Amino acid sequence: MAKNQEKELDINDEYQQRLKKLEQLKAQGQNPFPAKSKQTMTVADFLNDFDKLVKSEKKVVLVGRIISLRLQGGSCFLHFRDGSGQVQAFIRKDQLGADEYENFKNNFDAGDFAQFSGQAFVTKTKEATILVDKLEILSKALQSIPDQYYGLKDPDTRFRKRYLDLLVNPGVKKVFDLRSQITSLVREFFDKQGYTEVDTPMLQHIASGATAQPFVTHHNALDMELFLRVAPELYLKRLIIGGYDKVYEIARCFRNEGIDHQHNPEFTQIEAYEAYKDYNDYMALVEKLMEHLVKQVNNGSTKIKNGKDVLDFKAPYPRLDFKEALEKELKVDLEKTSDQELAAIGKKAGLAIDASWGRGKLLDELYKKFVRSKLIQPVFIINHPLELSPLAKKIPGRENYVERFQLVVKTAELCNAFSELNDPIDQGERFNEQK
């Protein structure tokens, strides 16, 4: 590796140098890419049992990717990492043997996968270390990895090359692991509630279930245009029609639209349906789910620090009526305020009002601007305008509003649900109005 870490490596030269090292390993009769290792424990287990291993002087075999090396004449400190954690190795010429040490010094690089045999060892700085008496290559890396000190900072490179991001920024793996844990907990939660998990089609002949621009593809054998699903909604509802009382899906969805920190063209959503229940029942279910998830990943506590805020997911959550909340912020009576007046309020607040927007869209954008942007703690926004919710039941006595809720946390919508409309006459009339 170059001594001057600030100087950019010539990638082509680095590649050629590593190719030479690869050939030297082969010339010495070593297989630079063996099929398996002789690992006896993970790095995490080594660290957890470290004190016992020091006392017992038991020999262990660890494996991992070399992250950094610090050669010091006849010795070297290096750090390597497996999927469970990172640890330091100490390699000494007199411990490894002169020939083996020269082989290591000349042919091993950061990025290589290696097998380290030895004993637990405490350095002067009290860092848990493995004192290596045997070293083997497991996979020779022909490309250099990003420097651990300077890291991988460019956001575009990080998102396009997640494998490098994971390699250089260990905190990213924690996020990935947390996502996996939450997915498992969600599945466990719904299973225990008596729901049946299902898989519905991702290739659909009609892009349905949400208002979104779909990705389009072509089925050669059937010679027909198909769409990647934007939501699994209609297929799940058909299962309810077919006799299931409770179904859910952890669904991969695709929307050919913009990208920001809350929207991605390819994403996963959890969608669930239960017969004989309304939106009040589902608010109770969502509260139970969210509190359960947070406690499971947060050592039993319902409170999570996020930036300057401490979010508390202890149920129950406040219910905030859409109309009442918006009227309070705008200081108007919505029933006496025209679309033109609403548009004027939006323009004054800096919203880019489109002439094609109907009343529902105007109300929704004003809500996001004046209400949702101020919500920090978990809260249910309930009873949305009819124009925004064509598949939800009307509220008795409030014909322009429906039984719908959204869970909002720190200005972000985490959940959307409603009492499903099952009146075919009402549904047909709404569809006709939307045409």
Which structure tokens are listed for 58? 């038991």
| Percent of the chain predicted with pLDDT > 70 | 96
Instruction: Assess contact for 386 and 395: CB atoms under 8 A.
Output: no
Q: pTM for the complete prediction? A: 0.86
Instruction: Tell me the pLDDT band of 432, cut-offs 50, 70 and 90.
Output: confident
Instruction: Tell me the pLDDT band of 2, cut-offs 50, 70 and 90.
Output: very low
Each domain of the chain, given as residue ranges in start order, spans: 11-139, 301-434
CATH entry, 11-139, from 2.40.50.140, 2.60.120.620, 1.10.3210.10, 3.40.50.10420: 2.40.50.140
Instruction: Assess contact for 388 and 363: CB atoms under 8 A.
Output: yes
**Residue 150: its pLDDT value, please?**
58
Residue 102, amino acid: E
Beta carbons within 8 Å of 329's beta carbon, 6+ residues apart: 370, 371
Closest CA to 363 of 350, 377, 380, 345: 345
Instruction: Assess contact for 65 and 71: CB atoms under 8 A.
Output: no
Closest CA to 400 of 365, 433, 375, 354: 433
The predicted-structure confidence for 266-302, as pLDDT tens digits, reads as follows 999 999 999 999 999 999 999 999 999 999 999 999 9
pLDDT at 361 over 90: yes
Minimum mean pLDDT range among 257-261, 313-317, 358-362: 257-261
Domain 301-434 fold: BirA Bifunctional Protein; domain 2 (3.30.930)
What mean pLDDT is predicted for residues 176-200? 97
Cis peptide before 378 (omega within 30 of 0): no
